[in-house]
Structure 1
Amino acid sequence: MTKTISRRDFLKVGCLTGAAAGLATCGVAGLAASGPEPAPVDLSSSTYGENPVKPRILVTYASLTGSTAEIAAEIGKTISAQGFCVDVRPALENPSVDRYQAVVVGSAIKFGSWLPEAVDFIKNNQEALGRIPVALFCVHIRCTDDSEASRQERQSYMNEVSPLLHAVSEGHFAGRFNRQGAALLVPGILAGFVPTLDFRDWDKIRLWAEQIQPQLVRSGESAIN
């Protein structure tokens, strides 16, 4: 079942960040300073599976708070379960695509746009990506319902990157809002008081990874042949 953000939860995000900002304007910095600082975001690399006779796939991502990194890892695990080798790498490392037969690129959404490192990765490797199958995904906390307005806004998140290549599939996933995310909106010492609201639908994420795997592999093998 697709997980959507209820109006109540969405308003909760706004109220929590608004309340934190209110603390700052009311001059209670001493209280705010006692809050925990956001933990460093782990932009990890990992490899799942090892099969030299099957296509090797890259999943590269840009993450603000770690939520997209965890989704990328789950996508890599799911694809590798079919016997393929999958490398998961942060886009900040600018991984080479030369050794891969297919690539999945994902990014967190900030103010309606992909993060710069993910866009740069696509632009810097546009020619190579044009020769192999590519899937795209983005992670956001707005517009997760099935209304036409939400679908249009979700699709707009891809406007900057979709024209750069012919993706075999595009995924849109609800993310997680926590103190790292709140720190983008209010001072970090205040963001420490914001609780975590996790809207990620892992079944939906795994299903998408399972569905794109045949598209990546069939197209990739055709490119090799």
Structure 2
Amino acid sequence: MTTDVLVAYGTTNGSTARIAETVAEVLNKEGLTAWARPAAAVDDLSHYDAVVVGAGLYAGRWHKDARRFLRRHRRALAERPLWLFSSGPLDASASERDIPPVPGVRRAMTRLAARGHVTFGGCLEEGAKGRIAGMILRKGKGGDFRDFPQIEHWAAQVAQDLAGTRSRTDR
């Protein structure tokens, strides 16, 4: 029975962590048991029946912790239902249209037979780490573009998909 779900994430300034926590909260409300954990802190997937992995996008690439997580756990991930999400655009585009995964994430989706991917808006606010983040903020391009109703809707769809998997395996 699919009930225990890991929501692993890679983030620099914490905004992707908040998305992962929201996904886990929705999965828990939908009757699953989910935990949001930093991707770099996860050593073993044997306790999880399904996995969601998300990462902030930086210069067209996923956060390094999430990339490393996918490589380190590729065998275990290939044996479990898997969904991916990206966090990145610093505008409303992710709420207005479907943004396809960046090439590296698309390749990972194919290799690991991921069931889906979504790109959510990003968040970059004062105090963010990094030289490039500082430049973006000085140009006035920061802000919080995360759409939490969209995130909650997507997480509920993941829960429904897992419930369908669970009912098929319980027969």
TM-score, normalised via structure 2 length: 0.82
Alpha-carbon shift at residue 210 of structure 1 (Å): 0.3
Residue identity (%): 25
Alignment pair present for 1:61 and 2:12: no
Alignment pair present for 1:74 and 2:25: no
**Kept after mapping to 2: 8 A contact 1:102/1:220:** no
- Distance in 1 (alpha carbons) for counterparts of 2:170 and 2:139: 52
Partner of 1:118: 66
- Distance in 1 (alpha carbons) for counterparts of 2:121 and 2:62: 14
- Distance in 2 (alpha carbons) for counterparts of 1:169 and 1:176: 22
The equivalent position to 2:162 in structure 1, one of 194, 197, 216, is: 216
Alignment deviations for residues 87-145 of structure 1 (CA, whole Å, 9 cap, x no partner): 11100113411011100000000100011211111111111111110010000025726
SS in structure 2 of the partner of residue 117 of structure 1: helix
| Residue identity in the other structure for 1:92 | A
The structure 1 segments of at least 4 consecutive aligned residues displaced by more than 6 Å after TM superposition are: 191-195
Alpha-carbon shift at residue 80 of structure 1 (Å): 0.4
RMSD between superposed Cα atoms in Å: 3.1
| Residue identity in the other structure for 1:211 | Q
Alignment deviations for residues 41-68 of structure 1 (CA, whole Å, 9 cap, x no partner): xxxxxxxxxxxx8611110000111100
SS in structure 2 of the partner of residue 171 of structure 1: strand
- Distance in 2 (alpha carbons) for counterparts of 1:110 and 1:206: 23
- Distance in 2 (alpha carbons) for counterparts of 1:132 and 1:59: 13
The equivalent position to 2:118 in structure 1, one of 171, 174, 177, is: 171
Matches within 5 A, 1:43-62: 55-62=3-10
> Greater CA radius of gyration, 1 or 2?
1
Alpha-carbon shift at residue 156 of structure 1 (Å): 2.3
- Distance in 2 (alpha carbons) for counterparts of 1:224 and 1:67: 37
Alpha-carbon shift at residue 163 of structure 1 (Å): 2.7
Partner of 2:101: 155
| Residue identity in the other structure for 1:169 | G
- Distance in 2 (alpha carbons) for counterparts of 1:197 and 1:62: 19
- Distance in 1 (alpha carbons) for counterparts of 2:90 and 2:140: 18
Partner of 2:57: 109
- Distance in 1 (alpha carbons) for counterparts of 2:25 and 2:112: 25
Partner of 2:147: 201
Q: Report how many residues are paired.
A: 168
- Distance in 1 (alpha carbons) for counterparts of 2:102 and 2:133: 26
